[in-house]
Amino acid sequence: MRAVDERDAYANLLLPRLLRERGIKGRDAALATELAYGTLRGLGTYDAIIEMCSDRTPDPDVRDALRLGAHQLLRMRVPPHAAVGTTVDLVRLRVGPGAAKFANAVLRKIASRALEDWLPIVAPDAADDPVGHLAVSYGHPRWIVSAFRDALGGDDELTDLLDADNARPLVTLVARPGRSSVKELEDAGAIPGRYSPYAAYLPEGDPGRIDAVAGTRAAVQDEASQLVALALTRVPVQREGEELWLDMCAGPGGKAGLLDAVATHGDPSGFPGGARLVAADVQYHRARLVWQTTRHASVVTADGTEPAWRPGVFDRVMLDAPCTGLGALRRRPEARWRRDPSGIAELGRLQRRLLGAALDAVRPGGVVAYVTCSPHLAETRVVVGDVTGRRDDVEQLDARDYLPEVDGLGDGPYAQFWPHRHGTDAMFLALLRRRS
Ligand SMILES: C[S@@+](CC[C@H](N)C(=O)[O-])C[C@H]1O[C@@H](n2cnc3c(N)ncnc32)[C@H](O)[C@@H]1O
């Protein structure tokens, strides 16, 4: 908690390391993970309740301990005396006896009500301020609730989505075609995925212990990430001989890993195999990760907006654009509090430039997949609409036609995945063909 607050650490990277280093395993590791991730997700709600119960602003150390205590008292089945006792002990140890007394008083007030009784007190009234009400009740910043509501086109599924964001996601694996198989992952304890022919869900345990994952023949990859890459490979393009593909923003290499395998070995439900993949990323260290993940791809460090390749040479281009990542909040517990809507305009300019460059890179008749791991309209439809509106050489395909195994992707021509509908990240896909 302190590392996340003080040095912007990523909890999902730091915590597994801390657990390993300290030899914390099994149920203790599960408890520590729920404490850290659950507390970070619910910060907005807990801070509002803590403020209501305190007569002064707590120091950062004390505030983090109170947040941990609030999560145990309000959302976990920890007995109240244990939640209060351990939190007070922690404050005494880290800060001192005065602060421990203060923490004890605040926690006792928090413990006096259940979460459903606190929410009407701390959250704005639903009738006056529906977005503010949901923001506090479901632990999301207000601007994100608004963005989700706009992207969903209304309120009907909004609470389902916010709930899904607060739930622990299943670990999804991809068995890279030609290199591993779902059967191999099943033998290691995974369950076949719902949509992607290469997906398997791992109900428990560390994916790193699976041989196929350790050997990069399989990897951890969200199912929607797999499907948007497969959709790009399923669009027919007329070409005799080997196709040339580009993954323009490839780091760290999730989609490139799958594209590389399909390019080489083919996909029984679509592409027959026989393509070469060029994978680029502007950051050298991210390009290196792509290089480690792929087998046959040519990997380059390159800025997609200042291409290192000739225009009009690729048959298929994957543009998995840098974005806010609002579609993957369930994976990164603290991310929702760190993002800031002011960054969207600048990201939007980069997304437009990259999409223009992707369309220039593809040959007439070829196809571009524009993908974001965000459902925010300013990063999805608005970007695609602006860029295609300024060109007369682009035809938008109905992306849903290339994902026949998945329902509920929206009204088209885009495909929008949702955590509450599909159990995946909220990934967006537009498929654009360059006119011949
Ligand atoms: C959403 S991530 C891509 C994730 C990747 N496709 C995967 O599946 O693992 C976006 C990537 O774009 C890269 N990027 C940002 N600006 C870029 C640019 N101008 N040219 C190329 N890559 C860029 C970032 O370094 C980052 O690795």
ipTM of the complex: 0.99
Q: Is 53 annotated as a binding residue?
A: no
* Section 407-430 average pLDDT: 98
- The residue whose C-alpha atom lies closest to atom 26 belonging to ligand 1 is 251
* Burial class of 367 by CB neighbour count within 10 A (0 to 12, 13 to 18, 19+): buried
Q: Please tell me the distance from the alpha carbon of residue 351 to that of residue 344, in angstroms, as a whole number.
A: 10
Task: Give strand ranges (E) for 131-215.
Answer: 171-175, 191-192, 199-202
**Which of the four pLDDT bands, split at 50, 70 and 90, describes residue 236?**
very high
Phi, psi of 144 (to 5 degrees): -75, -40
Question: Is 373 a residue of the active site?
Answer: yes
Residue 250 counted as an annotated binding residue: yes
Given this model, what pLDDT does residue 163 score?
Answer: 95
- Which tokens go with 189? 């304890």
* Dist CA 190 CA 185 (whole Å): 5
251 is in an annotated binding site: yes
Q: What is the pLDDT of residue 269?
A: 80
**290-342 tens-digit pLDDT:** 999 999 999 999 999 999 999 999 999 999 999 999 999 999 999 999 988 99
Longest distance between any two alpha carbons in the chain, whole Å: 77
Q: What number of other Cβ atoms are within 10 A of residue 381's Cβ?
A: 17
User: Ligand 1, closest atom to CA 251?
Assistant: 27
Ligand 1 mutation pick, 216, 222, 249, 351, max ligand atoms within 8 A of CB: 249
Atom of ligand 1 nearest to the CA of 255: 8
Taking CB atoms and a 6 Å cutoff, what residues make up the pocket around ligand 1? 225, 248-255, 280-283, 286, 303-305, 320, 322, 354
Distance separating alpha carbons of residues 168 and 54, to the nearest angstrom? 31
Catalytic residue among 373, 387, 406, 426: 373
Cα of 246 from ligand 1 centre, angstroms:
13
- What was the pLDDT predicted at 239? 85
Tens digits of residue pLDDT in 202-234? 998 889 889 999 999 999 999 999 999 999 999
Query: Which residues sit opposite 371 in a β-bridge?
Result: 320, 429
